[in-house]
Amino acid sequence: MWDYDVYEDMPKYSKPILILHGDKDFIVPIEYSQRAAKTYPDSEFHVIKDGDHGFQGATFEQAIGYIKAYFRKINLLPEGLSKIIPVGTPNTIAGEHFTGKSFLAPVSTQQVGIFNVTFEPGSYNEWHIHHAAKDGGQILIAISGRGWYQEEGQEPRELKPGDVVNIPANVKHWHGAAKDSWFQHVALEVPGEDTSTTWHGFLPAEEYEKLK
């Protein structure tokens, strides 16, 4: 029989915690969230009116609003990022291939894949290749902050809002934020045949540190 009491270990967790609970959530009793909010050393608790367990409909936007405000409060999402395209959620699709935190927001998943990628200062991804037997590749459009792009065999290129990078298929490259700035770019996936992506390790930290 499983008799582990999760609340016993909560005081040991010192990182910030945001707890959201819908008052129409009939799966998890609100008392559980209230107890967790009191038990975690550093927590913030909000009840969302008319919210169910999955925050459907209008309550979803309320939940996202709380999350964004909380991220800014703990310096995960500072002011100055795009207010037109959402920042999204922590990048769990390819996050392991980034040196620091990144966030991913799908703008479109039909016809042409379009994603907003947000990098925290100093975060950049591995050298990688977007393979395609025909067509394919990627287009980057910088929309806020300052970042870098580099193709194998070429000098790094500084990116600022409005800059566009056309990346042919089968070209090794990396991109990410400057060490002193958040950075956002929209990434467009160019349709192609037999497409895939492979990862090839990070630019050495000493080389990245040379970038101004």
Question: Of 171, 178, 187, which Cα lies nearest the Cα of 212?
Answer: 178
- For the chain, the distance separating the N- and C-terminal CA atoms, rounded to the nearest angstrom, is 58
Higher pLDDT, 140 or 13: 140
For residues 135 and 175, state if they share a domain: yes
Q: How many domains does the chain have?
A: 2
Residue 121 has pLDDT above 60, yes or no: yes
Answer whether 156's CB lies under 8 Å from 148's CB. Answer: yes
Q: Where residue 189 sits, what CATH number does that domain have? A: 2.60.120.10
pLDDT band with cut points at 50, 70 and 90 for residue 73:
confident
Q: How many CB atoms lie within 10 A of CB 31?
A: 9
What pTM was estimated for this model as a whole? 0.66
pLDDT in tens, 184-210: 999 999 999 999 999 999 999 999 999
Q: Which helix (H) or strand (E) holds 206?
A: helix 205-209
pLDDT in tens, 140-186: 999 999 999 999 999 999 999 999 999 999 999 999 999 999 999 99
Q: Which helix (H) or strand (E) holds 192?
A: strand 192-193
**Neighbouring-strand partners of residue 43:** 17
Q: What's the domain range around 99?
A: 89-209
Question: Of 43, 23, 27, which Cα lies nearest the Cα of 35?
Answer: 43
